[in-house]
Structure 1
């Protein structure tokens, strides 16, 4: 599970789905270039990461389903690390919501590009902390995409 959220945060979402389009400033490189839904893809991809880590999911009707999440395990091993991860989850949540819509404009408008890049950096940092959490559990977590 740590590998899954780590790879999604770092390599997939921050890397392939955001930074490639940011770096190339090209609509063709965005995740949903034909539907202009990339902003929603980014938000919901991130929500999946947060849901798995915290063990909590808010349904469309507002009711919450919750249980044991990775956060509970990490809290028992390293409360400070868990607090750092939860803080980055909050920061990433805020940043993903602030990305300009449509995303193809967020990657070219000079006043919007910094938000995209900040989001990329926070997601990469989050992936690094997921790998560190794995180490605390005696696991080796690789957040890079397989070749």
Structure 2
């Protein structure tokens, strides 16, 4: 009879080996527009942009909100920065269409997190669109 080749045996995982997924580092690209830019025709509008990294899973909604506010302050230089003064939305290229979803509260953040969990990439890029709400004029 011909010699037989012993097949490779799979090693069983021991309890000591970590089975957790590697942490995802999200790159957020923010495009911010002041209320004065929104008054212009769409073809003449100029958006300012910046980016930052966010460790998904470790950092809560408040941390993301603070980072967004810091970038708004840097890009638009408003007199005061209040999250309620801006329309914030996000979209994920090739996954979530460009109109995107709102990002204004913790529930929206959970939606974003669930979208990130579905992604196979460990370093996804998410776009955030920030538009300043027009200041109401007092007559």
- TM-score normalized by the length of structure 1: 0.27
Name which structure has the greater RCO, CA cutoff 8 Å, separation 6+: 1
- Which has more radius of gyration? 2
Which structure is higher in strand share?
A: 2
The answer to which structure has the higher helix fraction is 1
